[in-house]
Amino acid sequence: MSTTSTTDQETESDTSDSGAPSGGDFDPVAARRAARRGLILGGLAVAATACNVRPDPPRTINPPAPPRPRPTTTLPPRTTTTLPRTTTTLPRTTSTTTTSTVPPTTPPPTTNPPTPPTALRAEHVARRLTFGPTPAVMSAIAAAGGPAQWIDAQLEMPASVDAALDDQIRSSYPRTFNDAIGNFALGEAWEIISELPAATTVRAIFAQRQLFEQTVGFFWDHFNVDLRNDRAQASCGAYDQLIRAGAFGRFSDLLLAVARSAAMMNYLNQATSRADGTNVPVENFARELMELHTVGVDGGYDEDDVKAVAHLLSGWTRQLVDWMPIGPFRFDAAAHNLGPFQDPTHTVLGWSRGALTGEAAGVGFIDHLARHPTTAQRLAHELAIRFIGDHVQRDDAVVTAAAGVYLTNDTSIRATLRSLLTSNEFAASANRRIRRPLELYASMVRALARPTWNPGALRDARWGLVGATDSLNQVPHWWPDPDGYPDRDANWVSVGSMISRWNMATWVVRSPSAVVTVDWTAIRNWTTGTTIGEWFAAACGRLGVTVANTARDRMLGELYRTATTPLSATGTQWTMENLLIQLLQAPDYQTR
């Protein structure tokens, strides 16, 4: 869905590589393109190096890999779904994602040395733990007494602070609060395919509990369900509410809730898994429970263990409603067989059922997995990658410390996050992460728009909000595989993706969503000064972008301005628009 600006298309044939016009007349558009290329491409290597991404060498860049094919989504009106019974094992797949084609020159270290004490800066906290700094966020950090206190306040902030936003989302996107039964009763249940991504994007932009929304996003990736999957789709509203309810709670509780959820059980065919008669239980959920949700693929289990756990969880299903397993969770003893666990001493990952039978045996194993030391280390590492950076190794001291906190605090997610976010490694990680597409889009809107939403436009804007991130392949909840959107910076940086990221800046500045309002008089008043140069300096500070004076002068010269050009009382919108587009495209802005 990304597009090249009309101006660039129209002038491409009239300019040389240097940006100079082929004729004798001065072409301001061509000059602007050349300077922008110099500012952005010249700094891309800096951004890539900061995030441990090797940039491609100049003029030897291989053609970018074709974009990951996205299944075509058909949205026919329907109110019922016929769910075939299946025992097909879902294969593990590796989805194609755009990545850097240049291999590292040296393998990553097994561990990183402890980071020396580093001061925790407000700017870093605002960029990393929110979907984009705003004056309100910076004021809240100061009012809390500093960055560490603000982190604590975010971890303890009650849901009631976003009650008005939740009410608006419930009104505009009702299917995001319903279970499958409610969505089929409401009609057009498939519309959740746009409602839920739109709701997630609106929350990223407007929610006050920004750290909470970041954490919800992490657990959606960790326990991924593809919203476009027909079996799971109608249940994803309740699934979102389940993840939101558990994101700051105990991981053991969240893991069990996910295992019993209609969305996950239908996505991975657990709801139709039987071990009675000649039926062989479906292994999909048993496999992902260990491989993705807890100990990891190298966690110490084998294929026989997967089969044993599939038997242990057989009979976990949902009540049928119109022949679909979308009702409340239930345990069907007639469809259950313990398999190898019929021997009460049979062990998987250090657990044997003992006297436990039926549903209780499955619950006992899931609780064991949640409290397993390998799960603690792996979950702490994944959280460290998300919030600190993908340079963090699994056995680094910061990860081991957080895993210890997790185990000694009854699998508390909140305590684990606090350990990571108050570490020296976090304090030293400023600008070491690439903004993923949703983070990039939300940060641009938060930087430019008023901090309120347009209620009347919210419903009709849902597909536009989907399109905001579709061009960069990160529509919330549309990842097709159980492993969730990739969390490595290299997955989001390539020549092709950078063009789409720059196009996003142009789109946001010139055609923001109808959900928001851009007040250009307020943007002019980012400075109390009277010159374009003073406004430009204020804009750089506001967006966290550093521009050398020589580059600034080139940018202003393209617009027939200088740093001393007077700034009118209402500002010059055309000038501000062009400068903001270039600042939002700058390498500094692509990182957080």
Mean pLDDT to the nearest integer, 226-252: 98
CB 310 within 8 A of CB 270: no
Nearest to 47 by CA among 436, 412, 586, 537: 586
Mean pLDDT over all residues of the chain? 86
The pLDDT, as a whole number, for residue 109 is 60
The pLDDT, as a whole number, for residue 17 is 38
Characterise 138 by phi-psi region: left (phi > 0), alpha (psi -120 to 50), beta (else). alpha
Place of tokens 């605090």: 409
Report the half-sphere exposure of 208 (CA within 13 A, side-chain side): 18
Task: Kindly provide the b/e burial profile for residues 258-283, where b requires at least 16 CB atoms within 10 angstroms of the residue's own CB.
Answer: bbbbbbbbbbbbbbbbbbeeeebbbb
pLDDT band with cut points at 50, 70 and 90 for residue 294: very high
Mean pLDDT to the nearest integer, 170-179: 98
Distance from chain centroid for Cα 323: 35
255/240 Cα distance (integer angstroms): 14
What does each C-alpha distance from 529 to 132, 526, 564, 568 come to in angstroms?
Answer: 25, 9, 11, 10
pLDDT in tens, 8-62: 333 333 333 333 333 344 454 444 454 444 444 444 444 444 444 433 333 333 3
Bridge-based pairing of strands 324-331 and 316-321 is antiparallel
Task: Kindly provide the b/e burial profile for residues 487-523, where b requires at least 16 CB atoms within 10 angstroms of the residue's own CB.
Answer: bbbbbbbbbebbebbbbbbbbbbeebbebbebeeeeb
pLDDT in tens, 459-494: 999 999 999 999 999 999 999 999 999 999 999 998
Alpha-carbon radius of gyration of the chain: 26
pLDDT beyond 50 at 297: yes
The pLDDT, as a whole number, for residue 110 is 73
The pLDDT, as a whole number, for residue 562 is 96
Mean pLDDT to the nearest integer, 384-405: 98
3-state DSSP assignment of residue 518: coil
| Of the ranges 5-14, 58-67, 445-454, the best mean pLDDT one | 445-454
3-state DSSP assignment of residue 195: helix
Which helix (H) or strand (E) segment holds residue 194: the answer is helix 192-206
